[in-house]
Amino acid sequence: MKLKVLKTWVSKDFTIIFQASPVAPKELGLPKKIHMLLDLRQQSLGLRLTDEKPASATANHAFIQILRKHIHSFTIKDILKDEGGNIYIPLLGGTGGESFWFIKLAHSKPPLASLIDPENTVHVSFGQKGTFTKKHDLSEKVDWSALKSVFDELLINLKPKAEAEADDEEGDDEPAPGEVPIPEEQRELASRLKRKLKTTKKNLEKMRSELPGDGEAKRSRIEAQHLQQFAYLIKSEAHELVIEGIQTSTGDDIRVPLDPDLTAGQNIEAAFARTRKLERKTQ
């Protein structure tokens, strides 16, 4: 059993998201796509698997950009935990070698996710306190032999849901005592309509969740305007521009994600383009 990671995002509620395709026996009844969520909110530390994609996720984030720069494709075969509650996720590439990158989800307040290379160098960390791209060595070397696997425990949470849905569909075909049996053709038609209705509802919920709110569009415009105003602060190859609250119109710190491969002017154009796209969706 392993998860082949297809896409990666970061949501606005401090959650790193991996969309993956499970490589597992069909009898396990797992969904075709699984989303692994690394929750970095202080009140809900942890990692979980779900078959539903969270709303308002973006790949335009330093953590994702650095991850993609160094690891183009990878699979997850295990999720490990130490006695202190820290979680470790090896990111296995296609080379087949013993060395690998990994993510550490620190059991801290607030939680902190770090991307670490095979030499134990931290390349980027992300949490509620911000995104940190200054490279440094991991304080302690990981003793992989002392870690406990929690992969199966996370997968179990997905199975009952799939089994319960299957049981519900099977139960609908059984006539209640005293009822006239429904002809086979009508049962098949009812079953198809039920599945179609379920799919339609799920698609509508997904479309509704992906629609940005007015607040998100306004936040994007504020970020774009501040990026334009403080463009002189942008450093070469930076993944983020941090503007302190004492300088902003809102009085709060503003963090604007940057593409290190673009110039300052191109980043400003991209920021306003994102804003216009969000505003069109809310009209």
Residue spans per domain, the chain: 2-154, 214-282
Handedness of CA 128, 134, 135, 137 (dihedral sign): negative
pLDDT given at position 219: 84
Question: Which CATH superfamily does the domain covering 2-154 fall into?
Answer: ibrinogen binding protein from staphylococcus aureus domain (2.30.310.10)
Mean pLDDT of 78-97: 85
Q: CA-CA distance, 220 to 228, in Å (whole number)?
A: 12
In the three-class reduction of DSSP (H, G, I as helix; E, B as strand; rest coil), residue 160 is classed as: helix
pLDDT band for position 171 (cuts 50, 70, 90): very low
Task: Please give the biggest Cα pair distance in the chain.
Answer: 80
Q: Is the confidence at residue 105, as pLDDT, over 90?
A: yes
pTM here is 0.61
Residue 260: burial class (beta carbons within 10 Å; 0-12, 13-18, 19+): middle
Q: What is the DSSP letter of 58?
A: E
Q: Please give the span between the terminal C-alpha atoms of the chain, in angstroms, as a whole number.
A: 45
Q: Is the confidence at residue 275, as pLDDT, over 80?
A: yes
pLDDT (tens digit, 9 = 90+) per residue, 7-32? 999 988 889 999 999 888 877 778 88
- Residue 237 CB neighbour total at 10 angstroms: 9
pLDDT given at position 182: 67
